[in-house]
Structure 1
């Protein structure tokens, strides 16, 4: 089913389901008839509404006649019936065959786009520790560059050793040796 299908065609497809569904009881039928009569008297006049509310006629027969009447009235009448059904019985509305097909189609489209977007934005699968270690490395290099030539390198030395704690062995060795070389240069002067 496509998005172009109108309510007139949907009602024709859903009519059998609606007439056979046990949830379409007398109370729901009356609420739908009253809504169509009170809010949209051009769709269902008082005389027609009274005929569809007769309790002497079985609910299934009245419902079938109401659906035929709405089908004859046209697109707007069918749309308002669906709107009333959605308001008064959302569980019935969401289980209609045309709604189930639309939902499955929409879910399939949504899951396809979600998979595409998810693949597009995943940079790596290493997790937060990898990010933190890279960030710490970048901060350490920035501190070495910024404080490398001054007297402040002596005071940052313990901090630099702690910053290297989460690095891999090779990166840690380079980082610590660079800070110690800088400290030795300061001591030689």
Structure 2
């Protein structure tokens, strides 16, 4: 098995061909869109006569698609690349589920063979859940202080002072100062 980054588009199309022919999401309408794009934008790849042949509704979509893929491979590397471009443009979900694309996505290092499972997780930060809970608690506390304001906070300021006991030095000083100020008024 060769690596994705060294495969030519011709080789990728050879590998992805069986998947594409069996793919149910590639219905007649989508295959026609791909054929029309190749015909309109790259008439040197797919002439009007060839496009008409591949759009024949009397032939099942899987068969037409298989013939189109063989035709594009016969045209060469540029035709295969343009097919992938059209597939990506019109049927993005199928494009990203191609075997060659999955192999590329699952490969953590492009210079090694692909791994069987995607071990890399999507991580927003490396601080962990306690950091998130701490930030969330501070945000909720600030929202409560803002919402209740100084006028309504006479009885709750003692609880705010007690909450300062478990915080770091700077946060504790701010909360105790706020408690003392509200009690003096």
Interval containing the TM-score (normalised by the shorter chain): 0.5 to 0.7
Shift of 1:2: 3.2
Match of residue 2 from structure 1: 4
Match of residue 61 from structure 2: 59
**Separation in 1, partners of 2:6, 2:28:** 32
Shift of 1:83: 1.3
**Separation in 1, partners of 2:169, 2:46:** 70
Q: State yes or no: 1:104 paired with 2:139.
A: no
Does the CA contact (< 8 Å) of 2:21 and 2:62 recur in 1?
yes
Indicate the structure (1 or 2) with the bigger Cα radius of gyration: 1
Match of residue 21 from structure 1: 23
Query: Which structure 2 residues correspond to residues 10-159 of structure 1 after superposition, within 5 A?
Result: 10-105=12-107, 108=118, 111=121, 118=126, 127=134, 133-136=168-171
- Of stretches 84-93 and 102-111 in structure 1, the one that deviates more from structure 2 is 102-111
Q: TM-score, normalised by structure 2?
A: 0.60
**Separation in 1, partners of 2:66, 2:39:** 17
Deviations, residues 85-110 of structure 1 (Å, cap 9, x unaligned):
11211222122111222222259485
**Separation in 2, partners of 1:136, 1:91:** 49
Deviations, residues 128-174 of structure 1 (Å, cap 9, x unaligned):
689962335899xxxxxxxxxxxxxxxxxx95x95xxxxxxxxxxxx
Helix, strand or coil for the counterpart of 2:6? coil
Higher helix share: 1
Structure 1 unaligned spans of 5+: 140-157, 163-189
Shift of 1:46: 1.1
Alignment CA distance shift 1:44-1:111 (3 Å): same
Instruction: Give every structure 1 segment of 4 or more consecutive aligned residues whose post-TM-superposition deviation is greater than 6 Å.
Output: none
Does the CA contact (< 8 Å) of 2:4 and 2:103 recur in 1?
no
Q: Superposition RMSD on alpha carbons, in Å?
A: 3.5
Q: TM-score, normalised by structure 1?
A: 0.59
**Separation in 2, partners of 1:134, 1:72:** 73
Structure 2 unaligned spans of 5+: 109-116, 139-163, 181-185
**Separation in 2, partners of 1:78, 1:5:** 12
How many correspondences in the alignment? 141
